[in-house]
Chains A and B, each alone.
Chain A
Amino acid sequence: MNAADEAIVRATQAGLPLVTEPYKAIAASLGIEHSEVLSRLETMLADGRIRRIGAVPNHYALGYTANAMSVWDVADDAVDELGAQVGALAFVTHCYRRPRRLPEWRYNLFAMVHGRSRAETDAHVKEIRALLAPALRASDVLYSTRILKKTGLRLT
């Protein structure tokens, strides 16, 4: 990533200025052209460095208090196809394939599931289980009980 991209990331990672022409305000603060800010953001959106641009809601404020990490042991030849289907579910906010660490850890698919109650989240997990059923060997659900540290991933 070049210096101009990095400067834009630093200037916007905490949020856009809430003014009529926010990208122009960023350009002025960085001493670059308005059009350059727009084109660099467009490129980062296209290549995935930016996931999306908009409102980032607080899960808890929306009532999503039952948050679980579901983990699945899915056959290697099916995990990518099924993982994409799990990632597309509305209540799944993150879905990753990770390596197994046998014999201690057998699960290769991780899906973060959000619900407004434990019952709702359990129902979501059941939905994932049904979807994965043809290639599923084992699964587990880990509810978070305490945040021990949360600093976020930011360029400093």
Chain B
Amino acid sequence: MDELERAIVNRLQGGFPLSERPFADAARELGIDAATLITKLQAMLEAGTLTRFGPMYDAERLGGAFTLCAMSVPAADFERVAALVNAHPEVAHNYERAHRYNMWFVIAAAARAQIALLIAAIEATTGYPVLDLPREQEYFIELRLVA
């Protein structure tokens, strides 16, 4: 990563202007022109340094119901349970973690009632209980990752 890329990551993770020519406005603050910024962003997206450039939405505030679920699954049965859980389109992501609770996934559904039904279905098909841990409060995230 070169100096300009580092500056872009460190200074442009938020605050991109809502203006007529936002790339020109953001570029001026970085001491470059709009064309250079756009070319650099394109390259960083293609290289995978950036996953996206634009608004970062809070999925929960856009509507719908969400929860974080945890399961404790014996190693010998892990792959079967992972396949059953992942088969539901409402399961958005799923991580294996080194812990007694070794499977952690997020459910996104239209309404809370659907989440309860889905959890009941997962418990019935896998044979293991599911911890249902919806977020009650989010704490403000001010600072970001440094490149």
Partners in one complex: yes
Q: Does B55 contact A (CB under 8 A)?
A: yes
* CB-based contact B62/A96 at 8 Å: no
Q: Is B4 an interface residue (CB 8 A)?
A: no
The distance in angstroms between the C-alpha atoms of A44 and B93, with both chains bound, is 25
Q: CB distance A18 to B92 under 8 Å?
A: no
Using a CB-CB cutoff of 8 Å, which residues 7-39 of chain B contact chain A? 8-9, 12-16, 18-24, 34, 38
How many residues of chain B get a CB closer than 8 Å to chain A's CBs?
75
Return A33 CB to nearest CB of chain B, in Å.
Answer: 13
Query: Are B41's CB and A104's CB within 8 A?
Result: no
B137 touches A21 (CB 8 A): no
Contact with B along A8-26 (1 / 0, CB 8 A): 0100111110111111100
Q: Beyond A50-B57, A90-B146, A93-B141, is A142–B99 a contact (Cβ under 8 Å)?
A: yes
**Chain A 72-112 per-residue mask, 1 if CB under 8 angstroms from chain B, else 0:** 00000000100110111111111111110100110000100
Q: Is A130 an interface residue (CB 8 A)?
A: no
Other-chain residue from B42, B95, B138 in contact with A18 (beta carbon distance below 8 A) = B42
Known: A15-B52, A18-B38, A152-B92. A49 touches B23 (CB 8 A): no
Q: Given A9-B62, A48-B58, A48-B61, verify A95-B139 contact (CB < 8 Å).
A: yes
Interface set of B (CB-CB < 8 Å, partner A)? 8-9, 12-16, 18-24, 34, 38, 41-42, 44-45, 47-59, 61-63, 66, 68, 70, 82, 85-86, 91-99, 101, 103-106, 108, 129, 131-147
Known contacts A55-B12, A142-B101, then 15 further A-B pairs from the complex at CB < 8 Å, ordered by chain A residue: A9-B57, A13-B54, A14-B52, A22-B22, A52-B56, A54-B16, A55-B44, A58-B49, A69-B104, A84-B140, A88-B139, A97-B135, A101-B132, A151-B93, A153-B66
A interface list, Cβ under 8 A from B: 1, 9, 12-16, 18-24, 34, 38, 41-42, 44-45, 47-59, 61-62, 64, 69, 80, 83-84, 86-99, 101, 104-105, 110, 114, 140, 142-155
